[in-house]
Amino acid sequence: MTFGGWPAEGLQPAVALPMGPVMELTRKDPLLAWLLGGTAVAVVLFATGLLPVAAAWPLVAVIHVFLVWVARSTARTSGLTAPIRRFWWSVAASGAIYLIGDLAQIGTTFRDPLADAAATGGQVSLAILALGSAGLMYALLTVPLGFGTRRERTRFWMDLATVMVAAVVVGWHLVAPELPNALLKVLIGPVLILLCVFVVAKLVMSGTAPFTLACGLIGAGAAAVKSGADAMAKDGLTAHQLHWYLAGTVTAHALLVIALRVNQIQLTGNAGRLRQARSKPYSLLPYGAVAVTYLLLTHAVVEHESTNVPIALAGAALSTLLVMLRQLSAFRENARLLGELDRKVRELHETQAGLRDSLAERDALAARLRHHAFHDGLTGLPNRSLYAERLDAAVEAGGPVVAMLVDLDDFKQVNDRWGHAAGDALLHEVGRRLTTCVRAADTVARLGGDEFAVLLAGAEDDPRDIAARMVQAVEAPIELAGFGTARVGVSIGIAVAGERTGDGDSLLREADHAMYAVKRDGKGSYAMA
Give me the active site residues, please.
450
Report the C-alpha gap between 192 and 204 in whole angstroms.
18
Cα separation values, 62 from 170, 229, 304, Å: 31, 20, 44
- Close Cβ partners of 3 (under 8 Å, ≥ 6 residues apart): 11, 73
Helices 82-111 and 123-141: angle between axes, nearest 10 degrees: 170
Residue 470 in contact with residue 408, Cβ under 8 Å? no
SS3 288: helix
Q: Which of 456, 442, 439, 458 is nearest to 399 (CA)?
A: 458
Q: What is the DSSP letter of 408?
A: E
Cα separation values, 42 from 51, 116, 225, Å: 8, 21, 15
* H or E element in which residue 272 lies: none
Q: Which of 46, 44, 17, 47 is nearest to 32 (CA)?
A: 17
CA distance from start to end of the chain: 105
Report the 10 Å Cβ neighbour count for 173. 26
Residue 166 in contact with residue 319, Cβ under 8 Å? yes
Helices 82-111 and 56-75: angle between axes, nearest 10 degrees: 170
